[in-house]
Amino acid sequence: MSIDKQDAGYGTPNPEKKQRTGLPLSRLRRFVLLGIIVLFILQFVRVKILVGGLTGSLAVWFVTLIDIFAYADGLVSSRDFGMTALVSVLPVALIYLVFGRAFCGWVCPMDFLYELVGRMKNRSKKSELSSQRKGNISPKIGYGLAAAFLLISGLLEVPFFTNYLSHLTNFFRLLTGGVFFGMNLPVDRSVIIFSGSIIAGLLVLEFFFPRLWCRVFCPVGKTYGLFNKISLIRLSFAEGQCGECNLCDHMCYMKVKIARHIDETGLRDINCIYCGRCIDGCSTKGKLIKMRLWR
């Protein structure tokens, strides 16, 4: 990762061409994501660094981890505050108390898959900005939806979203299922097909409505979004350099309005996933907007 940071200084792309050349922060976060996925894949050859999936996992055969929404889901469906689950969710909560919704930009595999869908689409459409539709669905719907999911979980006594719909559960279920199928280990085909169709469905949704899932619906992201309000990380701005080109706003696929907050000390928007596209996109070449863990 440090190598990549040095890369960032080397041959900084000029603003006109920045969409073609690799963007430093975008590349760094891909390294983080792919690193995590690779560690999860290594579990199939019995490397016990990350075992399980992003819904719940076992790190270095020692630390159990649970996604925060999945924890809430299990809590509601079982109506039981178990110590085990609490111990598993605490480290995750600590991480995202520092990094806020960075989970979405740096860890979630869908973010990467969505980017691929976007690229596939742009190959025919040329301009990246053309994919920015006028979204008139309020991101607040997601919180209502998350609450509804929790209610269903409570009624069914099954973690409803986490078990059936979750992109995280289904992504890793598909991965494990596929690998087990290939290795002739016990797996039911219906599991692969179910999880495959959920992921495929999400990709189709992405094709027609870019980032609608992340911005409006995803309860996992919404939960981490709440952390944005209290987390240490924030976007901070250097004073008086903004050319008011609004490139940052255009680059942000979570539709955070950045430019209008430039005069403030920091921005902790509930939708910001700290992907750094605004930073990379800014015409000051990253001098104006910065990611900071303080002030």
Given the rule CB under 8 A, which residues bind other proteins? 43-44, 46, 48, 51-53, 55-58, 61, 64-66, 70-71, 73-74, 77-80, 82-85, 88, 136-137, 156-159, 162-164, 169, 172-173, 176-177, 180, 184-191, 193-194, 196-198, 200-201, 204-205, 208-209
Contacts of 279 (CB under 8 A, 6+ apart): 25, 235, 248, 286, 289, 290, 291
Tokens of 276: 């750094």
Residue nearer to other proteins on the CB measure, 46 or 126:
46
CA neighbor of 258 nearest in space, from 235, 291, 228: 235
Q: What's the min distance (Å) between Cβ of 154 and other proteins? A: 9
Q: What's the min distance (Å) between Cβ of 115 and other proteins? A: 20
Q: What's the min distance (Å) between Cβ of 263 and other proteins? A: 34
Three-class DSSP labels, 134-169: CCCCCCCHHHHHHHHHHHHHHHHCCCHHHHHHCHHH
Q: What's the min distance (Å) between Cβ of 232 and other proteins? A: 25
239: left (phi over 0), alpha (psi -120 to 50) or beta: beta
113: left (phi over 0), alpha (psi -120 to 50) or beta: alpha
Residue nearer to other proteins on the CB measure, 168 or 247:
168
Q: Tell me the sheet residues that pair with 292.
A: 234
Q: Which amino acid is at 146?
A: A
CA neighbor of 254 nearest in space, from 284, 274, 281: 274
Q: What's the min distance (Å) between Cβ of 51 and other proteins? A: 5
Q: What's the min distance (Å) between Cβ of 5 and other proteins? A: 33
Instruction: Specify burial of residue 125 (Cβ count, 10 A radius: 0-12, 13-18, 19+).
Output: exposed
Residue nearer to other proteins on the CB measure, 77 or 283:
77
Residue nearer to other proteins on the CB measure, 48 or 229:
48
Residue nearer to other proteins on the CB measure, 10 or 62:
62
Residue nearer to other proteins on the CB measure, 112 or 209:
209
Give the orientation angle of helix 141-156 with respect to helix 219-228, to 10 degrees.
120
